[in-house]
Amino acid sequence: MGLFDFFREDIAIDLGTANTLIIHNDKVVVDAPSIVAKDRNTNKIIAVGHQARQMHGKTHEDIKTIRPLKDGVIADFEASEAMIREMIKSIPNLKGRMIPPVLRMVICIPSGITEVEKRAVRDSAEHAGAREVYLIHEPMAAAIGTGVDVQEPKGNMIIDIGGGTTEIAIIS
């Protein structure tokens, strides 16, 4: 165990087209809509998640709401990065620390994602503050999360129905 392991925090992120989940210490600590509100004039992010969803369709003409993910992948890099950063800041156990934690993230990705899209997810997480980023395919994450022994020589069907993608996998 290194000196800085004391400051390390592990989080898992399911970046969804409709909603984003963040898990920390085996608990869902963020469950928010994947939506960002921007000022049209300055291009500055003004709200993410629930606050941005409340602005959707009711906003001033100078404010636009966007969904930074399309079909399970990043469509707007800057908005995705800001959304991840702000959602991480809202994790109760990480708020108000004098020394910011060293973040290690596991992020779920769709099975059909390209190398360019993987790089966008990794870069977005790193710009949002991750020191280490690990990517895992969504059906595998779902299998592990439900307690399936993925090492066992037995097939298990996993169906992951999301807001932008649906994936079916046989894991053995």
Rounded average pLDDT over 135-139: 95
CATH number for region 3-171? 3.30.420.40
Judged against a pLDDT cut of 90, whether residue 170 lies above it is answered with yes
pLDDT of residue 97: 75
HEC string for 25-41: CCEEEEEEECCEEEECC
**Among 1-10, 95-104, 141-150, the range of highest mean pLDDT:** 141-150
CB proximity list for 34: less than 8 A, separation 6 or greater: 15, 16, 17, 18, 19, 20, 67, 68, 69, 83, 163
Beta strands 73-74; 69-70: pairing state: antiparallel
- Structure-block tokens of residue 122: 């990794």
- Cβ pair 41, 63 in contact under 8 A: no
Read off the pLDDT of residues 19-76 as tens digits, 9 standing for 90 and up.
999 999 999 999 999 999 999 999 899 999 999 999 888 767 889 999 999 988 899 9
- Cβ pair 170, 162 in contact under 8 A: no
